[in-house]
Amino acid sequence: MNFISKKVLPLLALVASATIFATPAQALDIKQELNNQCIKSIQTQSGASNSSAKNYCSCRINVMEKMTYGQMWEIQEYLQSGKDISKLAQGKKLIQCGEPK
């Protein structure tokens, strides 16, 4: 769960801030940029293979793009207080993305 909290919180913040100012035309570029940043970060921090990092990041971003701000904040609150996010519907979806290898 520690790996999840180190990766999810910054990514949630990026998604939230990026989507506030995005126009529909920019949304795909933002999503691709978030994916690229995630892949680079995962590879640097965990040494995951390129394909594993791509799968992991793609899954996470696809789950997060369907979240409401309230759901993102709820997950952040759970992580910050040490609670298990698997109790939350969206948390379960994030966990199903697995860990990069």
> pLDDT digits over 49-92, tens only?
999 999 999 999 999 989 999 999 999 999 999 999 999 999 99
Long-range contacts of 27-33 (CB under 8 A, 24+ apart): 31/61, 31/65
Q: Which of 6-10, 27-31, 64-68 shows the highest mean pLDDT? A: 64-68
Separation of alpha carbons 78 and 84, rounded Å: 7
Separation of alpha carbons 18 and 5, rounded Å: 20
- Per-residue pLDDT at 3 exceeds 80: no
- What is the per-residue pLDDT for 1? 44
pLDDT tens digits, one per residue of 46-58: 899 999 999 999 9
Separation of alpha carbons 99 and 101, rounded Å: 6
- What is the per-residue pLDDT for 55? 94
- CA distances for 20 relative to 43, 51, 78, angstroms: 28, 30, 23
Separation of alpha carbons 30 and 5, rounded Å: 22
Share of the chain above pLDDT 90, in %: 54
- Per-residue pLDDT at 26 exceeds 80: no
The pTM for the full model equals: 0.70
